[in-house]
Amino acid sequence: MVVAEAVQVLDQPHSSTYIGMGKVQEIANLVTVFHADLVVISVDLSGSQARNLENECKLRVVDRTQVILDIFARRARSFEGKAQVKLAQLMYLLPRLSGQGIQMSRLGGGIGTRGPGETKLEMDRRRIRQEISNLRKIVDDEVERRSVSRRRRSRQGVYAVSLVGYTNAGKTTLLSGLARRLGDRQMDAGQNRIFDTLDPTSRRIRWAGRTFVVTDTVGFIRDLPHHLINAFRSSLEAVEEADVVVHVVDASSPFIQEEMETVYQVMKESLAVHAPVLTFFNKTDQLSELNLTGDVHANAWIAGSALEEETIIKLMEKLDELVGHKIRMHLRIPFDRSDIIAILDQKGLVNHIQEDGQVYEVEAEVDEREAWQFAPFAGV
């Protein structure tokens, strides 16, 4: 429960406490008056800033990253999700411990005057580094396992669709709606809380004779610290390898523009997205009038509600259109045209390849719209 709030407007943060000394005193007083248990500050603090504030307030002070990590920790369900959160927490902790270490060794003076405190710190740091490397291994193994299964899927002509969007936009609701109507299995509907989904969850959807694997991802949020995005890289890799990315937008949000900007910023700065983007303006049932004008960043857009069957069907029709049709081609490619092989390979279109005299014999599955560039090599 929030017992008191304080706001400060400053051109520049103070280096030692972030907020000004007067404000620190005000907060320290509020802590005493209200018997507060915790001070939360909605910015990112350096280790020494956090320590200085704690010393002044005589209470634990948590910053924005810690709050996000705490929520993440509560939401993670799978083994991998938990490992990712733990990894992010330890990586957050490590430089803060080091900061303390530097201070202490300065206090301790020259060689041979190390205090017991520092030895313990060094042990802590070593232990944390060891745990970080264990967790990295767990996460990397999982990434590898998923990438193998993705390669297998792409060979089988299964289309990968990734849902991205601001937290609470309705991604999980959409995926559960899709799965309920068109999928193989039931799943729980989304909850009205931020960062509800941390673990990458995929569902197989059948539509018009095609199979789509739709993957839910962690919600984005304004000013999500970069190291946190990196911690969730493995969940976000699905986005980079998708055939189509669906950007789910809460069209009823008063901050719709900022939220969409945030998502595109994360996609641009932290993810290499190659696939076409379909923007889905969700929750239109909450709007009294529809005046959406589309999305310049996207290849296509639709509007509706993830809770309605009609919308689900409209979405699938659009997805089907966006992935296009694939044609099976038998190609004979001369050795000096390895550039063509590279294009095919990069897109994961090659089913089978063998050398035969002066040419590569290639069995490929090519998108209808791209078939023209391989047509000169088609034939028996």
Ligand X SMILES: Nc1nc2c(ncn2[C@@H]2O[C@H](COP(=O)(O)OP(=O)(O)OP(=O)(O)O)[C@@H](O)[C@H]2O)c(=O)[nH]1
Name the strand (E) or helix (H) holding 315: helix 309-323
Of 65, 66, 100, 173, which lies in the binding site for ligand X, with binding defined by CB under 6 A? Answer: 173
Nearest CB to ligand X, comparing residues 100 and 173: 173
Q: Which does 235 bind (CB under 5 to 8 A by kind): ligand X, Mg ion, none?
A: none
Instruction: State in angstroms the smallest separation of the CB of 109 from Mg ion.
Output: 53
Is residue 77 within 8 A of residue 199, CB to CB? The reply is yes
Q: CB of 379: closest distance to ligand X in angstroms? A: 48
Radius of gyration for the chain, computed over Cα atoms and rounded to the nearest angstrom: 26
Q: Is 100 one of the binding residues for ligand X (CB under 6 A)?
A: no
Residue 194 is a binding residue for ligand X (CB under 6 A): yes
* Smallest separation (angstroms) from ligand X to the CB of 300: 19
Which helix (DSSP H) or strand (DSSP E) does residue 235 occupy? helix 233-240
Report in angstroms how near the CB of residue 221 gets to ligand X at its nearest: 9
**Coil/strand/helix, residue 368:** helix
Q: What residues make contact with Mg ion under the rule CB under 5 A?
A: 171-172, 190, 196-197
Q: How far is the CB of 173 from Mg ion (least distance, A)?
A: 8
Which one of 61-69, 117-125, 302-310, 328-336 is the stretch in contact with ligand X (CB under 6 A)? 302-310
Is residue 263 a contact residue for ligand X (CB under 6 A)?
Answer: no
Interface residue with ligand X among 49, 162, 172, 270 (CB under 6 A) is 172
DSSP per-residue codes, 95-126:
HHHHHHHHHHHHHH-STT---HHHHHHHHHHH
Closer residue to ligand X in complex, CB, 81/170: 170
Residue 200 in tokens: 């990458």
Q: Identify what 307 binds: ligand X, Mg ion, none; CB under 5 to 8 Å per kind.
A: ligand X
**Could you tell me if 249 and 279 are in contact, meaning their C-beta atoms sit under 8 angstroms apart?**
yes
Our CB check for Mg ion shows the closer of 166 and 360 to be 166
Return the exposure string of 123-149: e unless at least 16 CB atoms fall within 10 Å of the residue's CB, then b: eebeebeeebeebeebbeebeeebeee
- Minimum CB separation of residue 349 from ligand X in Å reads 32
* Residue 202, strand partner residues: 215
Full DSSP string of 72-100: HHHH--SHHHHHHHHHHHHHHHHHHHHHH
Query: Among Mg ion, ligand X, none, what binds residue 169 when CB lies within 5 to 8 Å by partner kind?
Result: ligand X
Our finding on whether 88 is near ligand X (CB under 6 A) is: no
Question: What does the DSSP 8-state code read for residue 14?
Answer: B
Segment 304-333, which members bind ligand X (CB under 6 A)? 305-307
Question: Which is closer to ligand X, CB of 144 or CB of 285?
Answer: 285
The yes or no reply on residue 167 touching ligand X (CB under 6 A) is: yes
Report the amino acid identity of residue 3: V
Sheet containing 159-165: order of strands: 201-207, 210-216, 159-165, 244-250, 277-282, 300-303
CB of 67 to ligand X, least distance (A): 15
When asked if residue 182 is in the footprint of ligand X (CB under 6 A), the reply is no
Q: Is residue 190 a contact point for ligand X (CB under 6 A)?
A: yes
Q: How many angstroms separate the CA atoms of 174 and 182, rounded?
A: 12
Say whether residue 219 binds ligand X (CB under 6 A): yes
246 and 162 Cβ atoms separated by less than 8 Å: yes
**SS3 of residue 227 by DSSP:** helix
**Closer residue to ligand X, CB minimum distance, 146 or 283:** 283
Q: What's the one-letter identity of residue 376?
A: P
The answer to whether 286 contacts ligand X (rule: CB under 6 A) is yes
d(CA 237, CA 178): 22
Place of tokens 């897109």: 347
Transcribe 158-196 into DSSP letters: PEEEEEEEBTTSSHHHHHHHHHHHHBSS--PPP-SSTT-
Choices 140-148, 160-168, 178-186, 342-350 (CB under 6 A): range interacting with ligand X: 160-168
Site for ligand X in 40-79 (CB under 6 A): none
Contact segment (CB under 6 A) with ligand X among 3-11, 188-196, 201-209, 234-242 equals 188-196
Binding residues for ligand X, rule: CB under 6 A, are: 165, 167-173, 190-192, 194-197, 219, 282-283, 285-286, 305-307
